[in-house]
Amino acid sequence: MTTPTIVFDLDGTLVDTAPDLIGTLSWLLETEGLDPVDLTAARDLIGHGMRPMVEKALRQKGRGQTVAEVDDVFRRYIAAYEQRLTRESRPFPGMIAALDAFAAEGMRLAVCTNKIERLAVQLLEELDLARRFHAIAGADTYAVRKPDPGHIAFTVRDAGGTLDRAVMVGDSEPDIRAAQAAGVPVVAYAGGYTAVPLAELSPDVILDHYDGLPAAVRALLERR
C-alpha cells in the first residue's frame, strides 16, 4: 500500500504568519499615506496569495485602480516582507507534535501554499521546518495554484505520493475547494484565516486545535 501523504497549507495552517504579513502591509500602506489595516480584520485577506492580499487592501483604501500601481506596491511589499518573514510568525499550537506523530508513522509530508515558493521555503527554513517536508510547492511552482486541484495533485506527485492516499490540511476556501476538486479529504483548521465560514465549505473535519489532527487524519485514511 502506498505511503500516505499529508499536504499542508502554510499561512494560517502550519504557521501563524498574520503578524508579519499584515504588519508589513500596514507599514507599506502608511508609506503610501493611508491608514494601516486592523490585524484581526485583515486576516481574511490572506489565503489567495500575497498579491491578491495587497490588491484587496489597496482597493479597500480607494487605491490600486491600475495594474501599474499594484505592481509597484506589490514589489515594495515583497522586498519589505522578506526582511521580516519570521519576526513574529510561529507554528500554531500543537502543530509540531502533530508533525512528529506523522513522521514517526512514516508518512510523507508536503506543503502546498499560495505563497511565493522562495518565500515559503525561506520561512520554513528559518523556523527549522523545511527539513520535515518531501515537497514544498508555492504559487509559482507550477502553472496552476489553489483552488485549482492541480496544485495539490502536482505537490503530492513531487512528494512521491498518490492522491488516493493523500489528505489535505488547510484553513480557507482555496485549500478546501482544491482538495475537494482533487478528490482528497480535507481537514480544516478553525484557528486560521478564512473569509468564508468553514461549515459553509463542507470540509471533512473541522478542528479547533491540532491535538486532534493525527487521529482525524488516520480516520480519513481508513475510509479511503
Identify the CATH homologous superfamily for domain 5-16+90-223.
HAD superfamily/HAD-like (3.40.50.1000)
pLDDT in tens, 165-175: 999 999 999 99
pLDDT in tens, 154-204: 999 999 999 999 999 999 999 999 999 999 999 999 999 998 999 999 999
pTM for this predicted structure: 0.92
The answer to whether domain 5-16+90-223 and domain 18-81 are alike in fold is no
Q: Which fold has domain 18-81?
A: DNA polymerase; domain 1 (1.10.150)
Q: What SS3 class is residue 167? A: strand
Active site residue 204: no
Please, which residues have CB within 8 angstroms of residue 209's CB and are 6 or more apart in sequence? 93, 94, 191
Name the active-site residue from 9, 11, 16, 171: 9
Domain limits, the chain: 5-16+90-223, 18-81
Cell of 125: 527554513
